[in-house]
């Protein structure tokens, strides 16, 4: 999968053909993720800042897939972060993954996930983890991650479960 570095708002593609495989995943500024973060993850929490302290962690990166109209249809962020459970370091955390509801279920999330893992492999990460909304755990399991025992919790009225994947040297995913 091609991963290019673009600045926020850069238009990608000539037609509205993002549902074609493979998707083009591009690296973007954190600001380019804000519209989807707001619409998909924060629509009922306008009090929360879209910019997270974790966005400023050294090494944090942001990936997006754009529709031909120049709007992001999928975004994901990852940063170095040791998890609150035992895992092989160095560990990276996936955060604020969001796909436009109009095109959820078409493979955009999986394409973003693959690109995130590719970036983390290139940075020699050994573990990828996320604090998943319970409603999205099935997505992470479909990507090869595993539920972390004893890490179900509730915050801000939302149920979460931690998920994790150990990255091997090969391209094969190796669930814990
Ligand atoms: C979770 C999310 C990022 C997945 O993106 P997506 O583009 O819809 O997912 P894909 O189409 O790439 O699906 C990939 C696989 O995951 C499965 N899947 C996707 N969402 C799922 C869900 N909520 N529950 C169970 N399985 C799911 C798909 O069926 C597919 O399975 P397959 O490989 O066997 O065909 C997206 O639905 C979303 O933005 N949800 C709302 C925000 C959210 O919860 N984000 C995660 C924060 S922790």
The residue whose CA is least distant from atom 31 of ligand 1 is 142
The residue whose CA is least distant from atom 33 of ligand 1 is 142
Q: Is the pTM of this model over 0.85?
A: yes
> Which domains does the chain possess?
3-130 (3.40.630.30)
The residue whose CA is least distant from atom 18 of ligand 1 is 139
pLDDT at residue 169, as a whole number: 57
Tell me if 19 sits within 8 A of 106, measured CB to CB.
Answer: yes
- Tens digits of per-residue pLDDT, 71-120? 899 999 999 999 999 999 999 999 999 999 999 998 999 999 999 999 99
Run means of pLDDT, 10 residues per run, the chain, 176 residues: 42 36 85 95 86 96 88 96 96 97 92 94 95 97 97 93 86 50
Closest CA to 30 of 79, 63, 59: 63
Q: Which two tokens stand for residue 103?
A: 């095109």
Classify 53 as helix, strand or coil: helix
pLDDT at residue 175, as a whole number: 53
Q: How far is the CA of 107 from the centre of ligand 1 (A)?
A: 8
- When the pLDDT of each residue in the chain is averaged and rounded to a whole number, the result is 85
Report whether the peptide linkage leading into residue 90 is cis, meaning its omega lies within 30 degrees of zero: yes
Tell me if 40 sits within 8 A of 152, measured CB to CB.
Answer: no
Q: How far is the CA of 96 from the centre of ligand 1 (A)?
A: 13
Q: How far is the CA of 35 from the centre of ligand 1 (A)?
A: 19
């Amino acid at each position: 999968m091609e991963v290019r570095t673009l600045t926020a708002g850069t238009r990608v593609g000539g037609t509205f053909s993002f549902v074609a495989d493979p998707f083009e995943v591009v690296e973007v500024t954190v600001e380019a993720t804000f519209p989807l973060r707001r619409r998909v993850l924060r629509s009922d929490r306008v009090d929360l800042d879209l910019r997270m302290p974790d966005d400023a962690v050294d090494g944090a990166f942001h990936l997006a897939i754009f529709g031909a109209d120049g709007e992001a249809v999928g975004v994901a962020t990852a940063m170095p972060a040791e998890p609150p459970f035992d895992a092989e370091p160095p560990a990276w955390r996936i955060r604020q993954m969001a796909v436009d509801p109009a095109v959820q279920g078409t493979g955009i999330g999986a394409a973003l996930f693959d690109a995130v893992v590719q970036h983390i492999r290139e940075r020699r990460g050994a573990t990828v983890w996320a604090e998943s909304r319970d409603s999205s755990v099935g997505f992470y399991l479909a990507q090869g991650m595993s539920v972390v025992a004893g890490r179900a919790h509730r915050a801000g009225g939302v149920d979460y479960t931690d998920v994790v994947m150990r990255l091997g040297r090969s391209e094969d995913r190796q669930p814990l």
